Structure 1
Amino acid sequence: MTGNGRKDSCVFEELDNSERGKFSMSIDTTLPTNVIFQLCALLIELIVLLYRIVKAVIHSLFRFIFAAPDKFIYGETVLITGSGNGLGRNLALEFGKRGANLVLIDCDRAGNEETLKKLKAAGCTAYPYTCDLSNRNELYSVVDRIKTDIGQIDIIVNNAATLSGKPLLESSDDVVDNVFEVNTMAYIWLTKAFLPDMLNRNHGHVVNIASLAGVVGMNGLADYCASKSAVIGFTEALQYELRQLKRYGVHLTLVCPSYLGTGMFQDCVSSTNLSHTLKTCRS
Structure 2
Amino acid sequence: MIAVLGVGPGLGLSIAHRFGREGFTTALVSRTDARHATYRASLAEAGITAHTYAADVTDEAQLGAVLDRIRTDAGEIDTVYFGPADQGVGAAMAPLPEAGVDNLRVPFEALVLPAAQLTQAVLPRMRDRGAGSLLFAGGLSGKYPMPLLGSFAPASAALRMYVLTLNEALRDTGVYAGALTIGGLIKGGDIHRVFTEQDHGFTAGTLDPDDIAERAWSLHVERDEAEAEFIGVTA
Using the size of structure 2 for normalisation, the TM-score is 0.74
- Aligned residue pair count: 200
Secondary structure, in 3 states, of the residue corresponding to 1:210? strand
- Residues 225-244 of structure 1 aligned to structure 2 (within 5 Å): 225-243=153-171
- Shift of the alpha carbon at 1:273? 6.7
Correspondence list, 1:223-262, <5 A: 223-243=151-171, 246-247=172-173, 249-262=174-187
1:82 maps to 2:6 = yes
The DSSP-based 3-state class of the residue aligned with 1:265 is helix
Give the Cα–Cα distance (whole angstroms) in 2 for the partners of residues 210 and 112 of structure 1: 24
CA displacement at 1:101 relative to structure 2: 0.8
Measured at CA, do residues 140 and 273 of structure 1 come closer, stay the same or move farther in structure 2, by a change above 3 Å? closer
Shift in Å, 1:161: 3.5
1:143–1:223 CA distance, 2 compared to 1 (3 A): farther
| Partner in structure 1 of residue 123 of structure 2 | 195
Distance 1:104 1:176, change over 3 A: farther
Query: CA offsets per residue over residues 197-239 of structure 1, 9 Å max, x none?
Result: 1111101111111121211233443333222211111112212
CA 1:231–1:113: 2 relative to 1, 3 Å: farther
Question: Who is 1:64 aligned against?
Answer: none
CA distance in 1, matches of 2:148, 2:43: 36
Amino acid aligned to 1:182: A
User: Are 2:25 and 2:74, in contact at CA under 8 Å, matched by a contact in 1?
Assistant: no
Say whether 1:183 aligns with 2:111: yes
Of 96, 101, 117 in structure 1, the residue corresponding to residue 20 of structure 2 is 96
Distance in structure 1 (CA, Å) of the matches to 2:77 and 2:204? 41
Question: How far apart are 1:135 and its partner, in Å?
Answer: 1.3
> Greater relative contact order: 1 or 2 (C-alpha under 8 angstroms, separation 6 or more)?
2
Q: Higher strand proportion, which one? A: 2
Structure 1: gaps (5+ residues): 1-76
Structure number, greater radius of gyration: 1
Q: Percent identity among equivalent residues?
A: 27
Q: 1:161-193 CA distances to partner (integer Å, 9 max, x unpaired)?
A: 4231542558893x7544333322221111111
SS in 1 for 2:170: helix
- Residue 279 of structure 1 deviates from its aligned partner by 6.6
Q: Which has the higher helix share?
A: 1
- Whether contact under 8 Å (2:57, 2:114) holds in the other structure is yes
2:164 is equivalent to residue 164 of structure 1: no
Task: Tell me how far apart the structure 2 counterparts of residues 100 and 201 of structure 1 sit (CA, whole Å).
Answer: 17
* TM-score calculated relative to the size of structure 1: 0.62
Verify the 8 A CA contact 1:84 1:109 in the aligned structure 2: no
Q: CA RMSD in A?
A: 2.7
Residue 210 of structure 1: aligned partner:
138
Structure 2 CA distance for aligned equivalents of residues 273 and 194 of structure 1 = 34
Gaps of 5+ in 2: 207-231
Contact 2:8 2:190 in 1 (8 A): no
Partner residue in 1 for 2:43: 119
Gap change, CA 1:210 and 1:129, over 3 Å in 2: same
